[in-house]
Amino acid sequence: MMLKSYGLGALLLALPTLPVLPPASTPAPAVAVPAAAAPEGHTADQIGRFLVRFYGKHGPSDHDRRHHISQVLQDRQLTNTESDVLLCAQNEPLDIGVGPVTVAQAAGVGWATVTTHWGADKTDTFTAYVRLDSKPIRVDDVICAG
């Protein structure tokens, strides 16, 4: 039995046909691309500025507690009288710092770690969440670290 030998021509015929591309020096035709719509909701910068103002140095004002938190947090505070659900604490901190804001457009939320300072180098942290579509901007949820 004799094996047939196929030459390079047969191999080339077996390869799929590829499209012919213009030379690299030929400019691609211009395609009209619609302008991207502005992202919906608050930006990381807006959320960060809001949280810094909202928390201040010692915690939210009575006005902010009434007008800039979600109904879920208002209800949670009514049922949790032994601690402040916005500060994850029982007392007023000596100082408060807000970390960088992360925004998840697909989830419609932004968040930042908030650090409360209690003296003698004691700190606590929690995460404050803001819905990107909240009008007016408000704290939607707070998750305590411990």
Per-residue model confidence (pLDDT) at position 40: 72
Which of 102, 53, 58 is closest to 84 using CA atoms? 58
Structure confidence at residue 23 as a pLDDT band (50, 70, 90): low
Q: Summarize the confidence of residues 109-126 as an average pLDDT.
A: 96
Q: Is pLDDT of 86 > 70? A: yes
Beta strands in 4-122 (DSSP E): 95-104, 109-117
Domain ranges of the chain: 44-144
Of 11-20, 47-56, 64-73, 89-98, least confident by mean pLDDT is 11-20
Structure confidence at residue 14 as a pLDDT band (50, 70, 90): very low
Per-residue model confidence (pLDDT) at position 51: 98
Contacts of 144 (CB under 8 A, 6+ apart): 88, 126
The CATH architecture assigned to 44-144 reads Roll (3.10)
Does residue 112 contact residue 19 with C-beta atoms inside 8 Å? no
